[in-house]
């Protein structure tokens, strides 16, 4: 097993006081603290080469889990073993094989070109010249930023900067890549480029990716498997498509009748199936089995001018899930 997390718990001691001068004065003599449980008994096993998404609302514990896996935080309880290493011991051999990109944090120097920061990373990781040049050229071409290499980082757009951050993190060809909100604030084209790049890098180098994102489309397009966190607790670990089907098993059928079709037969189906008809177009949103039964009855009587099945928007499905996850799992 490449990654094994067992009963991982992380708590923070937080200072609390009332607002205003009175609250400040009171807290000076009698400080009040509370324990905030960011993660509670998380257990997960991940094979090498997997791309695993972590989903959850703000404050669910996604970033805390990422920081524990890279060794930036120490756990309150539990254990993390990655490729035989304990992350918070920060062994050199472990750090050489891991990379982290955080959409809200910068690792590149703001006032110099990204190419200068790349050279710094080359010396930090002691990358050979030939390997460095080969990797840099490959990443730059894949992310289409060659003409921006010698531009000051502060003059780059958000999307261009994020691509440079990813390049800087992958120059040493890590086997574990942790991406925390990698497409935050990016335009549609930049998001798509990064998703394509992750799939390519995973396929070529068999690298393991752990990805957190608020954009459900990121997870849908990059990850087959997801871990769902809610208030620090693990509530789902499995295939993303299975989760979507469990939350909302319905699909939508759009059936357009040919011009001049007599629709009297449709009256006999009313009551058996839920559907709407508008301008000779029937729309039904039903579970798969009912949808196929309705379609079979329609095709017995009609030749459609057009017909299509549509999956319901994933964002809507996940929104309803996070409002009351206990109703679905």
What b/e sequence results for 314-329 when a residue is b if at least 16 CB atoms lie within 10 Å of its CB, and e otherwise? Answer: beebbeebeeebeeee
Give the pLDDT confidence score for residue 22 in this predicted structure.
Answer: 75
Identify the CATH number of the domain in which residue 279 sits: 3.30.70
Question: Does residue 69 fall inside a structural domain?
Answer: yes
Same domain, 51 and 142: yes
Give the pLDDT confidence score for residue 250 in this predicted structure.
Answer: 72
Give the pLDDT confidence score for residue 312 in this predicted structure.
Answer: 66
Question: Mapping DSSP to helix (H, G, I), strand (E, B) and coil, where does residue 205 land?
Answer: helix
pLDDT in tens, 274-322: 788 887 888 887 777 788 888 888 888 888 888 887 776 677 777 777 7
Same domain, 129 and 267: no
- Number of domains observed in the structure of the chain: 2
Nearest to 7 by CA among 35, 38, 36, 40: 40
Same domain, 50 and 159: yes
* Calpha distance 212→62 (Å, rounded): 7
Same domain, 289 and 177: no
Same domain, 161 and 199: yes
Those residues whose C-beta lies under 8 Å from the C-beta of residue 263, and which sit 6 or more positions away, are 257, 277, 280
Same domain, 214 and 260: no
pLDDT in tens, 282-294: 888 777 778 888 8
Same domain, 210 and 187: yes
Same domain, 145 and 214: yes
Question: Does residue 317 fall inside a structural domain?
Answer: no
Identify the CATH number of the domain in which residue 218 sits: 3.40.50.300
Q: Which of 201, 228, 245 is the last residue of a domain?
A: 245
Same domain, 142 and 260: no
Q: Is the pTM above the cut of 0.85?
A: no
Residue 86, domain extent: 46-245
* Calpha distance 289→321 (Å, rounded): 22
Res. 329: pLDDT tops 70: no
């Amino acid at each position: 097993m490449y990654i094994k997390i067992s009963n991982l718990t992380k708590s923070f001691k937080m200072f609390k006081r009332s607002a205003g001068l009175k609250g400040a004065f009171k807290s000076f003599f009698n400080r009040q603290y509370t324990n905030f449980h960011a993660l509670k008994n998380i257990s997960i096993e991940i094979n090498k080469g997997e791309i695993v998404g972590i989903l959850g609302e703000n404050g669910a514990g996604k970033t805390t889990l990422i920081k524990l896996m890279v060794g930036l935080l120490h756990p309150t309880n539990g254990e993390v073993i990655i490729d035989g290493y304990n992350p918070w011991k920060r062994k050199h051999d472990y750090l050489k094989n891991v990379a982290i990109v955080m959409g809200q944090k910068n690792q590149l120097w703001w006032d110099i070109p990204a190419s200068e920061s790349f050279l710094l990373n080359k010396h930090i990781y002691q990358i050979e010249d030939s390997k460095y040049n080969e990797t840099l050229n490959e990443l730059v071409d894949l992310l289409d930023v060659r003409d921006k290499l010698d531009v000051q980082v502060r003059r780059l757009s958000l999307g261009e900067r994020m691509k440079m951050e990813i390049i800087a993190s992958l120059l040493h060809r890590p086997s574990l890549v942790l991406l925390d909100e990698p497409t935050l604030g990016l335009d549609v084209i930049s998001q798509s480029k990064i998703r394509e790049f992750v799939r390519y890098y995973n396929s070529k180098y068999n690298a393991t990716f752990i990805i957190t994102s608020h954009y459900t489309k990121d997870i849908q397009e990059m990850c087959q498997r997801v871990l769902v966190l809610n208030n620090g607790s693990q509530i789902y670990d499995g295939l993303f498509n299975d989760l979507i089907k469990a939350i909302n098993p319905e699909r939508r059928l759009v059936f357009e009748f040919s011009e001049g079709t007599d629709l009297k037969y449709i009256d006999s189906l009313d009551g058996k199936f839920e559907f709407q008809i508008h301008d000779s177009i029937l729309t039904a949103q039903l579970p798969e089995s009912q949808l196929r039964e309705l379609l079979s009855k329609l095709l017995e009587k009609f030749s459609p001018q057009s017909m299509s099945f549509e999956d319901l928007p994933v964002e809507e499905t996940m929104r309803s899930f996070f409002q009351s996850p206990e109703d679905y799992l």
